[in-house]
Amino acid sequence: MSADLRSLEQRVLGPLDHVDLLTVRLPFLSPFGTSIHTWTCKEALLLRVESGGVTGWGECVADPDPYYAYETTSTAAHMVRDFLLPVVRPDVTLGGLDAAFRRVRGHGMAKATIENALLDLAAKQDGVPLHALLGRPRRRVMSGISIGIKDSVDELLAAVDEAAARGYHRVKMKIMRGKDVDWVRAVRDHFPRIRLMVDANGDYALSDAARLQELDAFDLMMIEQPLSYSDIARHAELQAQLATPLCLDESIHGLDDALVAIDLGACRVINIKQGRVGGLLESLRIASACAERGIDVWSGGMDETGIGRAVNIHLQAHPGFTLPGDTSETSRYFAEDIVDPPVVLEDDGFIEIPPGPGIGVTVVPERLARYTLSAERLA
């Protein structure tokens, strides 16, 4: 284990004066669809922790529904309230918290919510940006965009055109049965040179291998999660039949899953969503393990508000993040976000890590109030 992680694990958290759990709902500018479900808004749990006048924020990446993962905002609130927050004691270290959280099976998104808030608080207490607390110097972060399932090929082409014009470093398009080879071909014909990849969110079976082999013709960076959300082994069989690299998203819940997937040859790329793997420390472990093994890594996204989006950006200071991720501008999702400043692409498509202590973005109280559905004081 690297030295920076060890010192993080030894950090004592200290007492919390208040802990609040909020639910917010922000409308999307346009609906976002995967092969499984279409979302029209971002509904998220936020955790606010306060200590000595310093405030830390954590956003839970779970949706109110189980159409990406089994965790929901309700299950996460239950885990935070009844099992996870009770082990956050004033004298506990981050490593001790990690160990206590491991007794709770699964529920990584709930765990990450607390860990994110405590790390934001710790970084602010130290007066350093989150990436520095995580032991990594600043660097600019690559951008990428995830384009949802569209009703028509023309709509898809218009969305890709907009993304390419904006300067995103790569474009990901969602695919599903019935909206795959012809749709990818249309995009590739119109945009022969963009860095392009696809994400199936588990819509295929190994028996679809011949169909997926047709995608080898389009110079895709990778195919993300073609098979079931819970599968690793069959992805290895599929990878052996494809030239295009496979990337796992849903199937990877932590370092152990990542190592199994790599050892089996189930993927050549891993999408790290810090929430899905239980937080930033586990994300750093996976990124380091992948770097040692020559496996490319990128940061996924869950259409987060500016809180979670900032966390994903800080995490990508780790050099194991070798590829552009699903890190897009705020204006692609929301007319108004709850934080300032928004994420904006620079002229060359890169994203600046927000400077300043902690996550580097500030929650704007009137906007937070406008989008808050409920709030509960936990401590």
360 contacts ligand OSB (rule: CB under 6 A): no
Q: Which of 82-90, 276-284, 297-305, 344-352 is the region at the interface with ligand OSB (rule: CB under 6 A)?
A: 297-305
DSSP secondary structure letters along 118-143: HHHHHHHHHT-BHHHHTT-----B--
Residue 212 DSSP symbol = H
Look-up: residue for tokens 């919390």? 16
300 contacts ligand OSB (rule: CB under 6 A): yes
Chosen residue from 59, 98, 120, 199 binding Mg ion by CB under 5 A = 199
**Least CB distance from residue 106 to ligand OSB, whole Å?**
18
CA distances, 227 to each of 148, 235, 282 (Å) = 18, 7, 24
Distance CA 186, CA 165 (A): 17
Distance CA 83, CA 133 (A): 26
Q: Which residues, 257 to 296, sit near ligand OSB by CB under 6 A? A: none
Look-up: residue for tokens 């990450």? 112
> For residues 301 and 354, which CB has a smaller minimum distance to ligand OSB in the complex?
301
> For residues 231 and 303, which CB has a smaller minimum distance to ligand OSB in the complex?
303
CA distances, 266 to each of 230, 236, 262, 330, 349 (Å) = 13, 4, 6, 33, 31
**Least CB distance from residue 323 to ligand OSB, whole Å?**
14
Binding residues for ligand OSB, how many (CB under 6 A)? 12
337 contacts ligand OSB (rule: CB under 6 A): no
249 contacts Mg ion (rule: CB under 5 A): yes
The verdict on whether 42 is a catalytic residue reads no
> For residues 71 and 249, which CB has a smaller minimum distance to Mg ion in the complex?
249
**Least CB distance from residue 302 to ligand OSB, whole Å?**
5
CA distances, 65 to each of 43, 128, 304 (Å) = 10, 36, 15
Binding site for ligand OSB (CB under 6 A): 34, 68, 146, 199, 201, 249, 300-303, 326, 328
Instruction: Give me the active site residues, please.
Output: 174, 273
